Structure 1
Amino acid sequence: MHEFALLTPTVLLLSVGFMVILICRLTRVSPIIGFLLAGLVLGPHGMGLIHDTETTHLLAELGVVFLLFDIGLHFSTKSAWSMRRDLFGLAPMQMLITGVILASTMKFIFGMSGDFALLTGFALALSSTAVVMQIIGDLRQNESPVGKSAKAMLIFQDTLAIFLLIFADTVGSNETELAHLVLTTLLKTIIAIILVVALGKYVLTPLLRLVTRYNDPEMFTVLGLVIVMVTAAMTDYAGLSLTLGAFLAGMVLAETPFRILLQNELRPFRSLLMAFFFISTGMMLEPAIIIANGDVVLSLLLLILSVKAAVIGALIFISRRPAHHAIQLAFFLAQGSEFAFVIFSMAAVSAGMGSAISQQLISAVALSMLVTPIFSGIAYRWSLNICQSLKGITNVSIYDNSPVNKQPVFIVGMNEVGKTLARAFREHNISYIAIEHDRNRFLEATAAGYVVAYGNPGDLRFWNTLGADNARAVCVASPRYEITKEISPVIQKLYPRLKRYVAVNDSDEAQRFMALGTIPFHNKGAPPGLEMACFLLSEFGVSHSAIEDFQEEEHGAYLEIHPDPVLDERYEEQGEELPVNN
């Protein structure tokens, strides 16, 4: 019985997690809300079925560890360079402005000393990587421009959070002790980075090569788990953070050919442990404190959401990006962070600012996570309404303010093939204009950040308006044979040098389109359109290594959403909606 008692928290968490996912699927509610509410209702401040123990704390923390490892797998030095505008520009400005505003407000409202106010302000300026990545995944915006901007900001915040945790350990110390600890921590961090990089290059990569020879999935899964746990334990032992080691290990292994395999093998563990994290977060909500201090908690909640949304939205708008980008990112990133729980729960921090204030801040951050999926849904629908107003605009320079090449590639159709092509051109600074006649697809693609014009591609006047004279090529992602057959002679006459590429489903369709003077590509692949995209990048002078990097990145992102291509094909054949991973 004693052994089973030790397993009880895990068994309960697993059972609750399954029921929440099932209910949320049936009701089409975000699982994040379900997990948070389950933790609130079943936790120590609700029915008391799940208790706040070391086991639940560890499971929740491991969820964040695996999430940071997965983010590290997406964060190679090459991807960092492609994100440089947001990673080294937008993200630092957001943290600085938001942190200063919230710190000043904390000092004014609660009369905190300068160091505690500064710590609180910057802790509240962080956003929840777990919540935001879940929302982006649900909307299938992982690799879209909006999704990549959010990911860049989260990576910067998570890196800064490590130093905030160090600052929290020393808050209230004198300046000499603080300076000494900061220097010591910086030195430890540099040593940790060097050790993890060396470990990845000289130990883990050869070991992964050895394991792949045996083609044994179980060995690879076990090795993946060992890598995450050992690297996290190394940095924790050094007095840094579990998440730092996991993130560094993921970043090192992102440069190897084993990244996709590791993502696929460890995905179930990450998803399961993230569910535990959200349930554990819900357990931290104390209805008694919220009710007794309702005015303070709600004021803090509104303060966090409004300040962060206003600052993020303003910075994105100032950077001359479309309004629907600003709205989505502002609401997606407005909540508090999981790191805030850790900081406000520290004994020194809680004692310094007062346990009552600490609990009120924790409650406000937890509530901000709870309402984020709701507000994000509202923001997404709002951005779709803004995109609706763009339907009549054919001057695409309004959308794309920084094309490197003024000769655009035209993409006809923004299905999965069209989005793959758009990402390929965007990543390699090739200007493009997408054309979509389907209203829903136009709104969805525009809201995700793609450059799309709404109109009928069969109308030659529309092509003239968009400037087809200067186009480098036309890529038809969703071809309609009868329309193509009708307008092909006219296009060949008006634009004799314009190459036309088309995505087809089978060999018979390829033969028919070849007869019209187009170059066909089969749209099978992961993701669809990848073969055409890589060919065109080569045609436009992109280096072979850059194309290989893009191909690997796209393939990995596709498998993250569609881990079972055979299952995906079965759903498509039956005309059912593909399930989204959570």
Structure 2
Amino acid sequence: MEEASHSLTYWEPLLLLFGAVLGATLFKRLGLGTILGYLMAGVAIGPVARLISDGEELLHVAELGVVLLLFIIGLELNPSRLWAMRRDIFGLGFAQVLLSGAVIALIASFGLGLSFQASMIIGFGLALSSTAVAVQSMEEQGVLNRHYGQTAFSILLFQDISIAPLLALVPLLSPGGEGVEAMSLASFGIAILAVAALILCGRYILNPMFRLIASSGAREVMIAAALLVVLGSASLLQVAGLSMALGAFIAGVLLADSTFRHELSADIEPFRGVLLGLFFMAVGLSLDLNVVLANWLIILIGVPTLIMTKAALLYGLCRIFGSSHDDAVRVAGQLPQGGEFGFVLFTAASSALIFSNETASLLIAIVTISMALTPLSVALGERLVSEDDPDEMEEDWDGAGADVMMIGFSRFGQIVSQTLLAGGSDVTIIDHSAARVRLAERFGFRIYFGDGRRREVLEAAGIRDAKLVAVCTNGRASTDAIVELIKTEYPHVKLYVRSYDRAHTLWLRQRDVDYEIRETLESALRFGQESLEALGTDTMTAEAITEDVRRRDEDRLSIQAAEGLTAGNEKMHTRPVLPEPLIKPSRESRLLNPKDEKEAEKQAN
């Protein structure tokens, strides 16, 4: 009996993993994205097959995926960059929440005859979009760093901030639910103190703590510390009445300038991916089909009304705040759905007797279905952009195909192309920037517009006939996606990759790419050598010192590949090496290690 109970303990996790793998793979292959795959897998396992019934309980655990996602995003946004986005966050974001909430509240009040209190909660609850769905969708498309991606993220960030005052509205609007307390200035003060405490800890404690842990060389402790910081900061702000996601985001921003930023991101990423997939499955599991079937007409009208209302308001506000037509259309396509914080707000409102549990279930169903329809709204937004968009152009692969395929034609790729062409190699160049492609065409380059992360683009450009693929893209996310695709689909091709930084180099070596080089390595070594010569070091010695630094760097990479990013520090120089000069170059102008020097002295004697 005990063995049967023990085996049942693993049944639900196994079922969820199977559903995640099958659903995400199938929907990704169909071009609909992994988000919809997770959602549909959850619906199939829960409401349809009734194999798992506790979807709401699972949702509370899976929300940690959203928390980890916001932490990783925060790591990419240092305080100065966040300050530069302040107009979109506190201007456009505030306007979106206020206007969308007011308009949807009016529709609920006059269209459905609901009370003022219920209309207010419904309006502002549905004004919030899904951070998890939208950010995951933009990450998959690789557009988070584009202008409209940053605009959409700014709106989402303000929405996450606004959940605290919206939850504070619930007791004020309550007709007298049990256990409901009026909001006080003390609660606001506690929230401010919690944020201040988090900022102070981030500035004066986190970096020294990670430095101490890293010096121990225990990789598993570093991972545990990363999770502790994320969950601790999230819990601190939750206790203070703010959102967990906001706490994790602030912690990420405070560590954005840290030397441990890339290692923290790498440590958290696997947990983020699994828990975020689980979150979307939990949303599907928690969908009440009885509510959907009983109110199918309301949902049939309500979901498209919500999506079209929010999309129209988003488009108008983006245009007012200076976005182009195409950027405004794309933002409107990314954010018209309801959000996960709506679940929290509607549940709190039903507990406070603002509206019934049945109304809360209906609203949650509308939010869930709108989230599931996000891939369709994104696709529709892409179809509505103008044909003369400067960031888009028609793909034309006439004449493509060569021994060398180059993906990415920014400054790095342009210099690489000169060496290849000068050596007589034919090169097919792919770049996703229409402006760059048009400019390169004027100079006579054989360049094609396309996204190297898409399999059909690589096929059309002739990857099956290529002997070597040079990945010279700018951002790490794009590079990683291209490398994973090529290693999976075209393992026969030699893969030469431009590395973003040290952590990226280690990641690429784990993928067994044929060659990688950090984009700044050789130029920095050359710069240092020229600086030494300017200070009076002779050329031969300067060259030998440079070679020593290059060798030490390679040795350190080998150590880090085996022991982690914080290992191998003894290979770095952090103080001047004395006595000077560091090395006495040999007649062959190469660096001699101590054993070689002794041998040379013996031969000389």
Pairwise TM-score range, normalised by the shorter structure: 0.5 to 0.7
> 2:104·2:124 contact (CA, 8 Å) conserved in 1?
yes
3-state secondary structure, aligned to 2:299: helix
3-state secondary structure, aligned to 2:389: helix
Q: Deviations over 1:88-134 (max 9, x none)?
A: 22211111111110111111133333232222111111111111111
1:249 to 244, 248, 251: 251
Q: Which residue of 2 aligns with 1:445?
A: 433
Q: 1:527 to 1:138 in 2, by over 3 A?
A: closer
Q: Which residue of 2 aligns with 1:19?
A: 22
> 2:315·2:332 contact (CA, 8 Å) conserved in 1?
yes
Question: Shift of the alpha carbon at 1:73?
Answer: 2.4
Question: Shift of the alpha carbon at 1:273?
Answer: 0.4
Distance 1:384 1:106 in 2: 34
Q: Which residue of 1 aligns with 2:224?
A: 222
Q: Deviations over 1:287-331 (max 9, x none)?
A: 332222112112211121011100111122233432211111101
3-state secondary structure, aligned to 1:51: coil
Distance 1:215 1:343 in 2: 44
Q: 1:356 to 1:109 in 2, by over 3 A?
A: farther
Q: Which residue of 1 aligns with 2:102?
A: 100
Distance 1:297 1:128 in 2: 18
Structure 1 gaps, min length 5: 393-413, 422-437, 447-451, 463-475, 480-521, 531-553, 574-582
Distance 1:166 1:558 in 2: 43
Question: Shift of the alpha carbon at 1:40?
Answer: 1.0
> 1:309·1:334 contact (CA, 8 Å) conserved in 2?
yes
Q: Which residue of 1 aligns with 2:60?
A: 58
Question: Shift of the alpha carbon at 1:199?
Answer: 2.3
Q: Which residue of 1 aligns with 2:293?
A: 291
> 1:185·1:240 contact (CA, 8 Å) conserved in 2?
no
Q: Deviations over 1:251-300 (max 9, x none)?
A: 32224222222111101101100011101111222233222211211221
> 2:174·2:352 contact (CA, 8 Å) conserved in 1?
no
Question: 1:324-343 residue pairs with structure 2 within 5 A?
Answer: 324-343=326-345
Question: Shift of the alpha carbon at 1:7?
Answer: 4.5
> 1:90·1:153 contact (CA, 8 Å) conserved in 2?
yes
Question: Shift of the alpha carbon at 1:334?
Answer: 0.6
> 1:112·1:353 contact (CA, 8 Å) conserved in 2?
no
- Structure possessing the higher radius of gyration over alpha carbons: 2
Q: 1:525 to 1:296 in 2, by over 3 A?
A: closer
1:123 to 125, 128, 143: 125
Q: Which residue of 2 aligns with 1:267?
A: 269
Q: 1:192 to 1:4 in 2, by over 3 A?
A: farther
Distance 1:563 1:292 in 2: 55
Q: Which residue of 2 aligns with 1:418?
A: 410
Q: Which residue of 2 aligns with 1:367?
A: 369
1:136 to 124, 135, 138: 138
> 2:170·2:352 contact (CA, 8 Å) conserved in 1?
no
Distance 2:502 2:87 in 1: 21
User: What residue identity is the alignment partner of 1:564?
Assistant: W
User: What residue identity is the alignment partner of 1:39?
Assistant: G
Percent identity reads 28
Q: Deviations over 1:422-470 (max 9, x none)?
A: xxxxxxxxxxxxxxxx9995xx536xxxxx377464648x9xxxxxxxx
TM norm structure 2: 0.65
> 1:106·1:112 contact (CA, 8 Å) conserved in 2?
yes
2:147 to 145, 148, 157: 145
Q: 1:386 to 1:556 in 2, by over 3 A?
A: farther
Is residue 155 of structure 1 aligned with residue 157 of structure 2? yes
Question: Shift of the alpha carbon at 1:36?
Answer: 0.8
Is residue 564 of structure 1 aligned with residue 564 of structure 2? no
1:113 to 109, 112, 115: 115
3-state secondary structure, aligned to 2:48: coil
Q: 1:457 to 1:46 in 2, by over 3 A?
A: closer
- RMSD in angstroms over aligned alpha carbons? 3.9
Q: Which residue of 1 aligns with 2:578?
A: none
2:197 to 195, 198, 216: 195
Q: 1:336 to 1:31 in 2, by over 3 A?
A: same
Question: Shift of the alpha carbon at 1:243?
Answer: 2.8
Distance 2:117 2:500 in 1: 46
Distance 2:291 2:174 in 1: 27
Q: Deviations over 1:8-65 (max 9, x none)?
A: 433332232222233234433311111111111111x221112216751332221222
1:387 to 383, 386, 389: 389
Question: Shift of the alpha carbon at 1:4?
Answer: 4.7
Question: Shift of the alpha carbon at 1:228?
Answer: 1.6
Question: 1:428-443 residue pairs with structure 2 within 5 A?
Answer: 441=431
Distance 2:84 2:446 in 1: 25
Q: 1:127 to 1:296 in 2, by over 3 A?
A: same
Q: How many residues align?
A: 447
> 1:290·1:297 contact (CA, 8 Å) conserved in 2?
yes
- Please say which of residues 303-312 and 372-381 is displaced more in the overlay: 372-381
Distance 1:557 1:182 in 2: 50
User: What residue identity is the alignment partner of 1:205?
Assistant: N
Is residue 10 of structure 1 aligned with residue 13 of structure 2? yes
Q: 1:251 to 1:454 in 2, by over 3 A?
A: closer
User: What residue identity is the alignment partner of 2:170?
Assistant: A
Question: Shift of the alpha carbon at 1:76?
Answer: 3.0
> 1:416·1:527 contact (CA, 8 Å) conserved in 2?
no
Q: 1:6 to 1:390 in 2, by over 3 A?
A: closer
Distance 2:247 2:276 in 1: 18
Distance 2:12 2:352 in 1: 27
Question: Shift of the alpha carbon at 1:78?
Answer: 0.8
Q: Deviations over 1:210-259 (max 9, x none)?
A: 12223433221111111122222333334444334323322322242222
Distance 1:181 1:250 in 2: 29
Q: Which residue of 2 aligns with 1:312?
A: 314
User: What residue identity is the alignment partner of 1:445?
Assistant: S
Question: Shift of the alpha carbon at 1:389?
Answer: 11
Q: Deviations over 1:495-514 (max 9, x none)?
A: xxxxxxxxxxxxxxxxxxxx
User: What residue identity is the alignment partner of 2:20?
Assistant: G
User: What residue identity is the alignment partner of 1:183?
Assistant: L
TM norm structure 1: 0.68
